[in-house]
Structure 1
Amino acid sequence: MILIIFVLILLLLIFLILNVFFSYIQKRGSSALGSNPPDIKRDPGLDDKTADFIKVEKSEWKINSKFNQNELYAWFTEAKKTTNTTVILVHGFAVDHSSLNIHAQLFYNLGYNILQIDNQAAGKSSGKYMGYGYIESLDLIDWIDELKDRRPNEEIILFGASMGAATVMLTSPKVSGKVKAIIEDSGYTSTKDILSYHAQNMYHIKGRLLIDGISLISKLRAGFFYKQSDCMRALEHNKIPMLFMHGQKDFTVPFSMEEKLYTCGQFYKEIYVSQGVHIRSYYIDSVNYQKAVEKFLQHDQ
């Protein structure tokens, strides 16, 4: 009897510890992947262009997630000249849509409509827990359907950064025929891989078994296992043209992950590489970054 009680107490303790780790890793505003981006000097003119874009009138959109009914918000910016192409921008971990204003102005000034979304547990959208790209990928499909309902003839381009890049990759096999092209910037190979990388580099823990345990808690509390957000597996089934973008000095999502992602799947793909840090390639190499984007988007035209 004493042994049974001891085992039960031990299991309860493990469960409580895993819950603590889960909350740290997935709660709104988590700093698990680093919360203080480096202060990078931007190329001349980018700040002014971004400030001008922010001033442009935007309409607020709202939907409910089909995954868990959380309320989601987005902001639509009409292009300067009438067009039937919209770029949906998907932000990264523990930030909101405004973190990609600098990228939004790039696409806006290239002549596209812009839809900037707040993921679950970010910005104005509701939700307690982030989904490392999995929940967000399901919500992104809802946003694509919403855009198609409002603008039936619209062509759609997806752009995602970091966790947003994982989101667009995870979405890719499910939106053939609805999406024209995908651009991912600084994406990771899988949730398990990125958490293992940070566990080892930040805390010197080889945490695969720990991550498997937290994954179980994630399924119970957030509705998904970490194995469901495997970008490499998703890309094996993708048919949509994709541009891979990454900085070689990225220590948040290592460049080695980009090299693995680029080898996956049989679809049209291009790659752009800079000397930038995480999601900052455009800041320091804006001319070549824009050229890479324009070249890629002209492929299907």
Structure 2
Amino acid sequence: MQKWWKGLLLMAGAASAATAGGTAYFYRRVMKRNRMKVEDTMKMSGTDWSRYADLLKERKAWMMSQPHEEAEIMSEDGLKLHGTFFPGTGGAKKLAICLHGYTSQGMSDYVGLSDYYLKRGYAMLLPDARAHGKSEGEYVGFGCLDRRDLMRWIDWAVKRCTDEVQILLHGTSMGGATVLMASGLALPGQIKGIISDCGFTSAKEVFSHVLRSWYHLPAFPMIQIADCVNRKRAGYGLDECNAKREVRKAKIPILLIHGEKDNFVPCYMCREIYSNCKSPAKMVIIKDAAHGESYYRDTEQYEKAMTEFIGGVIR
């Protein structure tokens, strides 16, 4: 009997050690700046970006030829955050603040959409999220901290432009989650609408999906352990801010766009967010689009949805 109990305890100890080790590995890979990799994110997203290489090259060259300037603010917790501002040709009376996705940076995710905004007279502000690009920070905010940073960028934008500026918040993936999480805050009157492309509900829920789908591991207890660690190190819980809860407090119109074949941030998250929206909302699902691919997969449908939405919120 003693040998049986000893064997059982050894097995339990080994399982606990394996869980702790797996959690530590997963946490470092997704949360810490010096461990996360763009290549891993692109692989999991399942999007073949090579098919759009020529278009992206052309649009990036045009975008970079437009007047732009560096911008910098301080976060509530003392981080220097970097952004790039394009004043556009419309006197900065209309502005799109565009937030990028996980492991990306401000000047990457909106190369395509710069063609839409800048050619229609919009100014654009492209911040680098904390722990991304030229912004400081060791731990990723996953929308929970980034929405507070966004509020500071909004203050900067109003001062840089004018009190009369009309602002759209446009986010992709983690940026899409951020703008939705910000919808529950006391946004200033200059914010007229929110566009979220493939945004997730919360870090906890998207991590759970990734663990099950990509690593074939149960979310429990790894997510619970990671949540405790993140509260101590990064200062927030993985489900502390959830987009489907925040939109219940939203007061401004929201456009939700999602790829039908998004396996990274599953489409059901978009539907959950839509069903919880208190403010006027529209949902557009792009057929056959993978994660972050919607604009390129069906540019005509994407821009049509934007134009109709913006026509109802911007004068």
Q: TM-score, normalised by structure 1?
A: 0.90
**Once the 2 structures are TM-superposed, how far is the Cα of residue 58 of structure 1 from its aligned partner?**
0.6
User: Could you tell me which residue of structure 1 aligns to residue 293 of structure 2?
Assistant: 280
Matching residue within 20, 41, 50 for 2:51: 41
**Once the 2 structures are TM-superposed, how far is the Cα of residue 19 of structure 1 from its aligned partner?**
4.0
**Once the 2 structures are TM-superposed, how far is the Cα of residue 50 of structure 1 from its aligned partner?**
3.6
CA displacement, residues 193-220 of structure 1 (integer Å, 9 cap, x when unaligned): 1001000001111213211110111111
Matching residue within 136, 141, 159 for 2:151: 141
User: Could you tell me which residue of structure 2 aligns to residue 62 of structure 1?
Assistant: 72
Separation in structure 1 between the aligned mates of residue 25 and residue 300 of structure 2, nearest angstrom = 44
**Once the 2 structures are TM-superposed, how far is the Cα of residue 47 of structure 1 from its aligned partner?**
4.6
Equivalent positions of 1:47-126 (< 5 A) are 47-66=57-76, 68-100=77-109, 101-126=111-136
CA displacement, residues 217-245 of structure 1 (integer Å, 9 cap, x when unaligned): 11111111112121111011111101000
User: Could you tell me which residue of structure 1 aligns to residue 138 of structure 2?
Assistant: 128
Separation in structure 2 between the aligned mates of residue 273 and residue 31 of structure 1, nearest angstrom = 28
Answer yes or no: is the 8 Å Cα contact 1:132–1:229 preserved in 2.
no
CA displacement, residues 128-158 of structure 1 (integer Å, 9 cap, x when unaligned): 1111111111100110111122232222110
Q: Is the aligned partner of 1:244 residue 2:249?
A: no
**Once the 2 structures are TM-superposed, how far is the Cα of residue 96 of structure 1 from its aligned partner?**
0.7
Equivalent positions of 1:205-284 (< 5 A) are 205-275=217-287, 276-284=289-297
Query: Structure 1 181/11 Cα, relative in aligned 2: closer, same or farther at 3 Å?
Result: same
Answer yes or no: is the 8 Å Cα contact 2:164–2:190 preserved in 1.
no
Query: Structure 1 296/47 Cα, relative in aligned 2: closer, same or farther at 3 Å?
Result: farther
Matching residue within 30, 38, 46 for 1:25: 30
For the residue of structure 1 that corresponds to 2:70, the secondary structure is: strand
Separation in structure 2 between the aligned mates of residue 81 and residue 148 of structure 1, nearest angstrom = 15
Answer yes or no: is the 8 Å Cα contact 1:176–1:240 preserved in 2.
no
**Any stretches of 5+ residues in structure 2 without a counterpart?**
1-9
Separation in structure 1 between the aligned mates of residue 156 and residue 167 of structure 2, nearest angstrom = 12
Equivalent positions of 1:281-296 (< 5 A) are 281-296=294-309
Runs of 4+ in 1 over 3 A off after TM superposition: 10-21, 42-47
Separation in structure 2 between the aligned mates of residue 272 and residue 15 of structure 1, nearest angstrom = 40
Separation in structure 2 between the aligned mates of residue 211 and residue 286 of structure 1, nearest angstrom = 37
Answer yes or no: is the 8 Å Cα contact 2:165–2:190 preserved in 1.
no
Query: Structure 1 267/40 Cα, relative in aligned 2: closer, same or farther at 3 Å?
Result: farther
AA partner of residue 143 (structure 2): G
Answer yes or no: is the 8 Å Cα contact 1:31–1:94 preserved in 2.
yes
Answer yes or no: is the 8 Å Cα contact 1:41–1:283 preserved in 2.
no
Separation in structure 1 between the aligned mates of residue 16 and residue 234 of structure 2, nearest angstrom = 21
Separation in structure 1 between the aligned mates of residue 297 and residue 26 of structure 2, nearest angstrom = 35
Answer yes or no: is the 8 Å Cα contact 2:84–2:107 preserved in 1.
no
Q: How many residue pairs were aligned?
A: 296
Segment drifting more, 186-195 vs 40-49: 40-49
AA partner of residue 282 (structure 2): E
AA partner of residue 149 (structure 2): D
Separation in structure 2 between the aligned mates of residue 193 and residue 161 of structure 1, nearest angstrom = 17
**Once the 2 structures are TM-superposed, how far is the Cα of residue 39 of structure 1 from its aligned partner?**
2.3
Separation in structure 2 between the aligned mates of residue 280 and residue 288 of structure 1, nearest angstrom = 13
Q: TM-score, normalised by structure 2?
A: 0.86
Identity %: 27
User: Could you tell me which residue of structure 2 aligns to residue 3 of structure 1?
Assistant: none
CA displacement, residues 230-272 of structure 1 (integer Å, 9 cap, x when unaligned): 1111011111101000110111111111111111122111122
**Once the 2 structures are TM-superposed, how far is the Cα of residue 43 of structure 1 from its aligned partner?**
10
AA partner of residue 126 (structure 1): E
Query: Structure 1 237/176 Cα, relative in aligned 2: closer, same or farther at 3 Å?
Result: farther
Answer yes or no: is the 8 Å Cα contact 1:43–1:283 preserved in 2.
no
